[in-house]
Structures are given as structure tokens and as C-alpha cells.
Amino acid sequence: MSNQMPRKRLDRLDRSILECLQTDGRLSNQELAERVALSPSPCLRRVRALERSGVIRQYVALLDPAKIGLAMLAYVSVKLEKKGRMPVEQFTRSVQGWSEVVACYSMTGDMDYLIRVQVEDLDHFSRFIMEKLLKQPGVIDIRSNFVLERIKDTTAVPLAHLVRADR
């Protein structure tokens, strides 16, 4: 994930396109053009430019985990031993192959990583912890937190700061 601003400043139309696509990525170019008050050709050119620049990273279908049998969501903080780069490199490689891990972040503070784990139930979670995570060389501490209720869960990235940048 890049922390860099796009080279081209995003104008009002680009922001409108991004807001619409974050809400519904399946909009046809015609529908999108109508919503942002552009004709289809310039709208498509702008979308393609946003894709080429990496502002639009990808398009996906978002699934409801509970409806496919993955009702338990946990956040697990992981601390690794600090003996060279090997535990870090091996851990980050291993995380890529664990289907239960839907997100992993390198963190500041007491723990080194925060992983979001989506599983069927407590038994599945326990198997993941015991058979994968705790068998990983270099893991010296983990702390788990279970989600009781989703209050807000969005994939939309805030764009309001881009409006302030225009001033």
C-alpha cells in the first residue's frame, strides 16, 4: 500500500467518480457518466486514468462472511522475537498462505503485527492458533480479541480531505 499522493491532483469530477465506484463498483460507464454529469467518453478516460495511476487498485465482490459460514471475526496481535530478520521474513511469508488471515498489518507499539482472522467458530480459531500461528518460529506472544458486533464495516476510503486540498 502506497502512502504517496497521486501525481495528478484529483479534481471534483475524479472525486465524484471515486465516490460512486466505492459505493457500487458494478456501475456501467453510462450509469457512472450520468451520475457524475459527464458524457461517457470523458468519464471512461478518467476512470482508466485513475486505474493506471493506481488510485483505483482493483474491483472485487464483497462477501458476507456469516452467510458463507465464517461467522467469527477476531483481531490477533502478534509479537515476534527480535533475533535478526529471519522470524519477520518467515512470518510475513507464512501469513500470505493462511486463508484465515484476511488482513495483516505491521504495527508500532508493544506488538509487531495485527492480523484480522475470519473463521467458522471457536474450534476453527483454536485450530488456526495452535496449528499455524503458534507453530510459527519467532512468535513469542499473541493476544486475541473477538468481535461481538459489527458497528461499522466499510471498504470506502474517505475523500473529504481531497476537497480541503482544493482550497
Long-range CB contacts for residues 25-32, cutoff 8 Å, separation at least 24: 25/59, 25/60
Long-range CB contacts for residues 95-99, cutoff 8 Å, separation at least 24: 98/128, 98/132
Domain membership flag for residue 156: no
The answer, yes or no, to whether residue 118 has pLDDT greater than 70, is yes
Residues 33 and 81 in one domain: no
Residues 142 and 81 in one domain: yes
Count of the separate structural domains present in the chain:
2
Which residue range(s) make up the domain with 28?
12-61
Residues 38 and 83 in one domain: no
Q: Pull the grid cell for residue 163.
A: 476537497
Q: For residue 63, what are the contacts with CB-CB under 8 A and spacing of at least 6?
A: none
**φ/ψ bin of 80: left (φ > 0), alpha (ψ from -120 to 50), beta (otherwise):** beta
* pLDDT classification of 1: cutoffs 50, 70, 90: very low
Residues 56 and 71 in one domain: no
Q: Pull the grid cell for residue 86.
A: 529471519
How far apart are alpha carbons 160 and 167 in whole angstroms? 12
Domain membership flag for residue 131: yes
**Lowest mean pLDDT segment, chosen from 50-54, 79-83, 141-145:** 79-83
Global confidence as pTM:
0.84
What is the domain-level CATH number for residue 39?
1.10.10.10
Average pLDDT over residues 119-141: 97
Average pLDDT over residues 92-108: 97
Residues 28 and 41 in one domain: yes
Residues 106 and 142 in one domain: yes
Residues 31 and 80 in one domain: no
Mean residue pLDDT of the chain comes to 92
pLDDT per position as a tens digit, 31-44: 999 999 999 999 99
Domain membership flag for residue 1: no
